[in-house]
């Protein structure tokens, strides 16, 4: 284990923007003493080393240059977490205080200790616990760059801090949530704080945005799951995929204003094409044709109504200001063209052995586009 006291005194002095004279004045020693420490010609006594560590806001281990034992840190953090989960907070606090004295600038330690107090607050509802958690979390944010998952950990810390601030300082809670409201991920939590504050209209607006995000995320997830399940070619997977799409078709339909042609018509057309793929893979030719027919009717209705690319047009449950929250349909204004592009893309991406099934869907679709209807669709 190599000591690096001399170079560390010089390093931390420079990090603080101090000259040797500045450090000497701060510690009440001569410039010559500081110079000898940094040259390695002399070492400060134990009392002075403690003063140096305190002045630089580091542990004695760090000042001396001992390599931090990652295993020791991991063990301490694991023990703190284990004790907290067993509700043995007095023991956890003793270890946490020792860990923070030893490693006051180590993110892993600070995050674990802050989380322990956060967990304790859930049980005690003691404001002192929430304030201690917030204090430690604030310090952890200073050193979050040490984490390999910096953005994720910052997101997690600010989320926990926001919850702790809900009753203490709700406006601060909202500010923290907004700083990590990536792609609307925090709209629901912001809405909860606003509801607590009695700001019902603003809360409803944020809940509405959260619902819209959940709706679009679910739609994308269903599409992705179906694509994976189709690859297996197993009967049970294909049936599960079909059941999933049927459920999503109902949700999408219910989300649109009834009796009004809107964006859900295009979305339902996409879902019907997914069903057509599945029917083709399951060898159900007639059902495949029926779903392609349904997709064509929905897409045609959408195009004839000239809905345009406003993704909020005709959707229910939207209480946000549509002038402030803009959205457009990236697939283009024509549903017929969008579905055609969707099937052609699927054909390109599909393994050669399965292309026949996708070609059946494409051939069926192209015949309809040439105004050769196959019959009645599967729903009204």
CA distance 185 to 187: 6
Mean pLDDT computed over 228-242: 92
The percentage of the chain sitting over the pLDDT mark of 70, rounded to a whole number, equals 94
Inform me whether the pLDDT recorded for 346 exceeds 70.
yes
pLDDT in tens, 88-118: 999 999 999 999 988 888 899 999 999 999 9
Taking alpha carbons only, the member of 307, 314, 310 closest to residue 327 is 310
Average pLDDT value over all residues in the chain: 89
Helices (H), 20-169: 20-27, 31-39, 46-56, 60-64, 70-85, 89-102, 107-124, 127-142, 150-168
Residue with tokens 């304030």: 131
Q: What is the pLDDT of residue 295?
A: 97
Confidence of residue 375 (pLDDT cuts 50, 70, 90): very low
pLDDT of residue 188: 94
- Tell me, yes or no, if the pTM score tops 0.85: no
| Phi, psi of 169, rounded to the nearest 5 degrees | -150, 85
What would the pLDDT profile of 302-343 be if each residue is shown by its tens digit?
Answer: 999 887 667 777 888 888 877 777 777 777 778 999 999 999
pLDDT-derived band at 377 (thresholds 50, 70, 90) equals very low
Query: What local confidence, expressed as pLDDT, does residue 83 receive?
Result: 95
Is residue 240 very low, low, confident or very high in pLDDT (cuts 50, 70, 90)?
A: very high
Core vs surface per residue 306-342: b (16+ CB within 10 A) or e: ebeebbebbbeebebeeeeeeeebebebbbbebbbeb
pLDDT exceeds 50 at position 380: no
90 within 8 A of 77, measured Cβ to Cβ? no
What's the whole-number mean pLDDT along residues 126-151? 92
Alpha-carbon distances, residue 114 vs 80, 108, 237 (angstroms): 11, 10, 44
Per-residue model confidence as pLDDT tens digits over 33-68: 999 999 988 889 988 988 998 888 877 777 877 654
The pLDDT of residue 72: 82
In the chain, pLDDT over 90 holds for what percent of residues? 64
CA atoms within 13 A on the CB side of 154: 16
d(CA 361, CA 350) in angstroms, rounded, equals: 13
Residue 1 above 50 pLDDT?
A: no
| Model confidence at 172: pLDDT above 60 | yes
- Residues 281 and 236: their CA atoms lie apart, in Å, by 12
Whether residue 182 is predicted with pLDDT greater than 70 in this model: the reply is: yes
Classified as helix, coil or strand, 256 is strand
Residue 17: which region, alpha, beta or left (left: phi > 0; alpha: psi -120 to 50)? left
Looking at 140-144, 214-218, 330-334, which range is the least confident one? Answer: 330-334
In the structure encoding, which two tokens stand for residue 237, read together?
Answer: 């997977």
């Amino acid at each position: 284990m190599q000591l690096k006291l001399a170079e560390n005194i010089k390093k931390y002095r420079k990090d603080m923007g101090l000259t040797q004279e500045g450090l000497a004045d701060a510690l009440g020693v001569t410039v010559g003493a500081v110079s000898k420490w940094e040259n390695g010609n002399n070492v400060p006594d134990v009392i002075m080393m403690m003063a140096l560590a305190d002045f630089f806001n580091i542990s004695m281990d760090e000042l001396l240059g001992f390599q931090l034992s990652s295993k020791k840190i991991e063990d301490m953090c694991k023990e703190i977490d284990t004790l907290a989960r067993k509700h043995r907070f007095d023991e956890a606090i003793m270890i946490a205080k020792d860990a923070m004295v030893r490693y006051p600038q180590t993110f892993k330690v600070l995050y674990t200790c802050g989380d322990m107090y956060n967990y304790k607050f859930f049980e005690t509802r003691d404001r002192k616990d929430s304030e201690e958690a917030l204090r430690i979390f604030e310090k952890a944010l200073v050193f979050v760059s040490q984490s390999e998952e910096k953005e994720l950990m910052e997101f997690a810390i600010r989320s926990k801090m926001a919850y702790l601030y809900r009753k203490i300082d709700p406006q601060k809670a909202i500010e923290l949530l907004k700083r990590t409201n990536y792609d609307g991920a925090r709209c629901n939590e912001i809405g909860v704080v606003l509801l607590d504050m009695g700001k019902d209209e603003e809360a409803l607006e944020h809940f509405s945005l959260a619902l819209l995000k959940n709706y679009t995320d679910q739609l994308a997830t269903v599409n992705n799951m179906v694509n994976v399940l189709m690859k297996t070619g197993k009967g049970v997977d294909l049936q599960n995929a079909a059941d999933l799409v049927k459920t999503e078709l109902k949700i999408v339909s219910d989300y649109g204003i009834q009796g009004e042609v809107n964006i859900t018509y295009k979305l339902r057309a996409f879902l019907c094409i997914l069903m057509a793929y599945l029917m083709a893979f399951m060898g159900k030719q007639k059902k495949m044709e029926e779903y392609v027919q349904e997709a064509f009717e929905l897409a045609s209705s959408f195009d004839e109504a000239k809905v345009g690319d406003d993704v909020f047009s005709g959707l229910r449950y939207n209480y946000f200001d549509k002038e402030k929250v803009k959205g457009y349909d990236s697939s283009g204004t024509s549903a017929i063209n969008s579905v055609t592009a969707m099937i052609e893309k699927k054909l390109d991406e599909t393994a050669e052995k399965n292309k026949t099934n996708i070609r059946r869907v494409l051939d069926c679709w192209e015949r309809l586009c040439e105004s050769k209807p196959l019959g009645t669709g599967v729903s009204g």
